[in-house]
Structure 1
Amino acid sequence: MNPEAGFRAVYGRAPDGVWSAPGRVNLIGEHTDYNDGLVLPTALSRRTRVAAAARPDGLLRLHSARADGGVVTLERDELVPGRVRGWAAYPAGVVWALRAAGLAVGGADLHVESDVPQGAGLSSSAALEIATALAVTGVHGLAPEPAELARLARHAEHAFVGVPCGIMDQTAAARCRAGHALHLDTRDLTVRHLPFDPAAHGLRLLVVDVRVRRALADGAYAARRAACEAGARALGVRALRDVALAQLPDALSALPAELRPVVRHVVTENERVARVAALLAAGDLRAAGPPLTAGHASLRDDFAVSCPELDLAVDTARAAGALGARMTGGGFGGSAIALVDEERAEAVERAVGSAFASAGFRAPAVFAVTAGKGAGRDG
């Protein structure tokens, strides 16, 4: 990627700077963030980069090396929820949210380049949002706190794009550290940076992009969130975070049958996050395999957000020797992860590829995770 050269080619001038943010892989803690729960993501080394320059006329011009259609030009009064569609809604929504929060961001030209896979459950949207927020505030001489940028980017995705996501993805993009996983309490937004270096333990964390693309705005994600909120109301708690594991049997017996599985997933998933975080803090990454696998079973059976390709990736990786495996991200497609001994990594990758070929599925893309740095200015 060369975003500076790309910017010059599109706009005929040099950018004021380049800012970037990473994709993320979530180790454990799925569909807990919008329930005030716990999550444990780590940043990828793959990033979205935004080259930007300020404009004096208030116009917002957007260009992506990935997208067809050339430059998207937006007047100030066009930055209204529902008016912008497609990929441009994400950066446009961020600018809208920044201005609505009272930040003095004017016009800007933006050029986007990224190697974060889209639709793979690796948070390409949050990477774009946070990189855009840094770029637009940066060219106008502003430097909001990372936590505030994450909050505003999440608001943009909610109100402008229409996806009722939690705050994990934006926080991971803004606040992760290289070589660490981010333990985030989504209720009070406190964080702990826990060492995460699989290679130091003779391990690899593999991402298996199953090449099934899903759109979280299609209603299924929103339906799961609504079921969680209904469960909390039925139990008389602020959020499902407030149901302790010891209280789960009584809580389930008090719920309608259709709400029990989603509540069971969220409560047990919070416990799995706490368990894996404790293992990372103790330097025992190898023991994290079983909680990862248990998390997949819960997402598949209780939360019902897996798919045949994800299940095949997880089952095949485990049969080939993975210590643990699960789907990661919102579900309905995307990616799985597998924690494997270094010497077994290639065998696991081959086994998954062979299984997909035998099933007639598209060939998956497999790569190892290096815990990358959070968002910042590149130049």
Structure 2
Amino acid sequence: MRVVVAVDSFKGSLTTTDAGAAVRAGVLAARPDADVVVLPVADGGEGTTDCLAAAWGTPLRRSVTTDALGRPTTATWALSADGARAVVEVAAASGLPAVADVPADPRGTSTLGTGRLLVEALDAGAEEVLLCLGGSATTDGGAGLLVALGGRLLDADGRDLPPGGGALTALDRVDLSALHPRARGARWRLACDVTNPLLGPRGAAAVYGPQKGAGPDDVAALDAGLARLAAALRGATGVDVADLPGAGAAGGAPAPLVAALGATLEPGAPLVLGEVGLPAALAGGADLVLTGEGSCDEQSVQGKVVDGVAAAVRAAPAAAGAPVVVLAGRVAVAPAVLAAAGVTAAFGLAPGPASLDELRADAAPLLADLAERVVRLVGRDAR
């Protein structure tokens, strides 16, 4: 019996590596002779760095940088074993939780700290950089990223703007003459699961600004600043990012990377699943595919890991007919919705009445037990 395991992290309980190990233990408890292939997975958001570092077999790198308010901090990123690929999460340096200890400053937060991680990746020799969007505390249109990479944001008097999206209302032009020497030659991939444009009622400021503490006046000022940035980037590069689907992610962070460096926006889960080798694993055949995450809900089948795994199984002739079973902390989606996405069934961890704290504390043994029970049931007729 060949079982492919691709389980996302259970936030607050298990990393993807820990979850995969627990599922593997459960599978082997039911079928000691099973061929179990375990892949660390993520959806392109939080945890992607850990996932890819595990898949690449490389240690996490820890760098000194600054948080969204410019305070010293450290953040992790990863480099592939051959040094050619790097992964950085916006939230690692510029995330919202790291600045939750002080009153919100929606106009002053910056992605400069994340930009410094990108510079470290380029200096380490990376030829391809994957930037994972999501969880940011910023609405600076990626201005901090561009400044860290050597770009300049200038007002009408030729003075450099201070950090933060609020300063962009004074932006006159963008100077790209001193970009990092390796920036333009690198391949930039942006893991993005939203389609919001940079500007307007569905843009970065209007939709995500309030989540970062922006009131109505802040939203109006930030949107005006982002409009100035879009115009300045268009003037410097000829590329218009104002209405680009996805440019509003992470407070507009994709805008300068797309305009100045040709970055591409890609759905996060399929990108990561391809990187960790799921298609190749399924090409070897599968009698059962186990996936999952902390909460299985309707979002799970809308571009998240569960959806990506089910799609990969459908695309793999060698895995045709293999049941796709979700193991989750909780299941809050109708079976018909799962079936429409190619998922055979979904099961929650709780063996009976239990509090969230109890489930989190016992997540690993509960997940192993659930995997064992599923294999004993589904695997009865497997070879």
Common topology (TM > 0.5): no
TM-score (norm 1): 0.26
Structure number with greater Rg is: 2
Query: Relative contact order: is structure 1 or structure 2 higher (C-alpha 8 Å, sep ≥ 6)?
Result: 1
Between Structure 1 and Structure 2, the one with more helix by share is 1
